[in-house]
Amino acid sequence: MSEIPWNVIAMQLFFGIALGCIFVLLSSGMSIIYGLLDMVNFAHGTFAMLGAYAVFVVVSLSDNFFVGIVSAVVIVGIIGMVIEFLLLKPLYGKDPLLPLLLTFGLSVAIPDFMKIAFGLIGKPVNFPDVLSGAITLGPLTLPGYRLFIIVFTLVAMISLWLFLKKSDLGMIIRASTRDSQMVQTLGINVSRIWTVGFGMGVGLAALAGAIAAPMMSATPDMGVDMTMTAFVVTVVGGLGSLGGAIVGGLFIGLVVAFTAYVAGAYSSVAMYFCMAVILLVRPRGLFGEQGRE
């Protein structure tokens, strides 16, 4: 029996976690939106794409990647809030299909607009100098940017958790996720909370797009796959569950990485296979609440 190449397995584990971290950011946004508004945002990947373009524009102007990331979240978050306020809000309480159709429409229209504005050729975002290069740990070569993704996601998720658990606004958001009518009766303007929540959700999508941009360039059509991945991870983790988004994201990242190692051609199919199995065995996902399936 041939020897197991442990260094390759360890690197595969590392790449899988780094990939999973992007999925975590992407799907936690989708989860927040679903939890709060009870709707699947079909334009979620489109907002990630906007994040990638925002980081491209800001980095071109400021030459600072970190300013680019923060700006991408703020810019796309505001765009999201405006869209929620002007387009989605009038549809609440009507046919639940309408917000779905609207976000689907946005996922078609926004990329076309980006093609007109930025052209068909993708826009490159360079790796920040401080994070380019790799760290060698014995037989392992770990690229600096992937390490950054892992650490950054960890910090972002802890911050999000603290915000939702400890801050007043976070508590209101959580309460609205549980029972928005009750929150409304307490005299809180839930409509405004929905707007903020939607902005937060798409802001997280933008963060995922901004972080992924140096690895793949910003292209108008990149959102399609990102929406699908976010959907798969959210279903696996459990619709509306932040913990589910984290576990689901990391799990799918590792599944993709190890399938790529043993049977490359099936790496994309593998995540859909996982989703199918989860739906059959536990329809509410790994961490989803009963009744939300």
Are 52 and 289 in contact, with CB atoms under 8 Å apart?
Answer: no
Residues 242-271 that bind other proteins (CB under 8 A): 256-257, 260-261, 264-269
- Cα separation, 171 vs 222, whole angstroms: 34
133 three-class SS = coil
- Closest to other proteins by CB, 127 vs 163, is 127
Q: Binding segment for other proteins among 81-89, 115-123, 178-186, 244-252 (CB under 8 A)? A: 115-123
Residue 94 is given by DSSP the state S
**Pick from 64, 115, 154, 162: which binds other proteins (CB under 8 A)?**
115
Q: Which stretch, 14-22, 41-49, 79-87, 177-185, contacts other proteins (CB under 8 A)?
A: 14-22
Nearer to other proteins among residue 52 and residue 202 (C-beta)? 52
- Rounded to a whole number of angstroms, the minimum distance from the CB of residue 21 to other proteins is 11
Rounded distance, CA 142 to CA 164, Å? 33
Residue in this structure with the two tokens 């994201």, named with its chain if needed:
249
CB of 122 to other proteins, least distance (A): 5
Report the residue number, 101 or 269, with the smaller CB distance to other proteins.
269
Q: Is residue 44 a contact point for other proteins (CB under 8 A)?
A: no
* Nearest residue to 124 via CA among 213, 61, 189, 47: 213
SS3 143: strand
* Interaction between residue 134 and other proteins (CB under 8 A): yes
Q: Which is nearer to other proteins, 184 or 268 (CB)?
A: 268
- Which of 24, 39 has the CB closer to other proteins? 24
118 binds other proteins (CB under 8 A): no
**Which of the residues 194 through 233 are near other proteins (CB under 8 A)?**
212, 214-217, 219, 221-222, 225
| Residues in contact with 225: Cβ distance below 8 Å, sequence separation at least 6, in sequence order | 45
Q: How many residues bind other proteins (CB under 8 A)?
A: 44
Residue 104: phi, psi to the nearest 5?
Answer: -65, -45
Of 48 and 190, CB closest to other proteins? 48
Q: Which is nearer to other proteins, 158 or 216 (CB)?
A: 216
x/- site string to other proteins, residues 15 to 34, per CB under 8 A? xx-xx---------------
Contact 286, 252 (CB under 8 A): no
Classify 171 in phi/psi space as left (phi over 0), alpha (psi -120 to 50) or beta. Answer: alpha
- Write the single-letter amino acid at 28: S
The footprint of other proteins on residues 142-201 (CB under 8 A) is 143, 145-146
287-292 long-range contacts (CB < 8 A, ≥24 apart) are: 287/237, 287/238, 287/241, 287/243, 287/244, 287/247, 287/248, 288/237, 288/238, 288/239, 288/240, 288/241, 288/244, 289/238, 289/240, 289/241, 292/238, 292/239, 292/240
Interface residue list for other proteins (CB under 8 A): 5, 7-8, 11-12, 15-16, 18-19, 115, 119-124, 126-127, 132-134, 141, 143, 145-146, 212, 214-217, 219, 221-222, 225, 256-257, 260-261, 264-269
